[in-house]
Amino acid sequence: MKGRGSQGALQLLGPASRTSIMRLMAYPQGTAGSIMTTEFVQVPQDWTVARTLEHIRATEHEHETVYAIYAVDGRQHLQFVVSLRELVCAGSQLALTSLRRRPAIACGPYADREEVARIIRRHNFLALPVVGEDQRMVGIVTVDDVIDALMEEAQEDIGRFGGGGEHMGAPYCCRRRGRGWSSAAGVQ
């Protein structure tokens, strides 16, 4: 979204949306910051399961997706992540801290999107928190945000394998043979 048209389009948005988009546009293309969403559920780590669920219900229209809940301390530093499934299955009076399984895994806003994709794939995440240098949440990158990066990476790998190091573009005619895949080029 560059040039004169982008400025006009931005003026059509409300102040909150305009500020959010301007913040995202400040990050270099291909980074976590450029593909993240700033709509996520962040709550104090000392809340109960019941209070967290009430908060999600009350603010559901403000969040694009709710895969996980991001628990922060009093200084807004990310402490841990609780999946929506864990939250829904937990007793309502339990403290969120009792659901903490491990320290949060996060990336910075300048992390390369392919690295973000590798982290999401390695840990089987639906979303990865993005934190600034001060460890405060600035957004999340969802798995669908990085599918494009994964597809581009896979196409480059296929291109290197089948094309002697050159990128071929879209994958070409593949068929299943035996236990593996072979291409129409005759790899058996």
Average pLDDT, the chain: 81
pLDDT of residue 187: 46
pLDDT greater at residue 176 or residue 108: 108
Residues 170 and 56: their CA atoms lie apart, in Å, by 41
Lowest mean pLDDT among 74-78, 101-105, 167-171: 167-171
DSSP 8-state symbol, 183? E
pLDDT band at 16 (very low <50, low <70, confident <90, very high): low
The one-letter code for the residue type at 79 is Q
> Angle of helix 113-123 relative to helix 143-163, nearest 10 degrees?
100
Would you state the structure tokens that stand for residue 173, as one six-digit string?
Answer: 């005619």
Instruction: State pLDDT tens for residues 62-79.
Output: 877 888 999 999 999 999
Instruction: State pLDDT tens for residues 111-123.
Output: 998 899 999 999 9
Give pTM, 2 decimals. Answer: 0.71
pLDDT of residue 63: 78
Instruction: State pLDDT tens for residues 54-66.
Output: 999 999 888 778 8
pLDDT of residue 159: 80
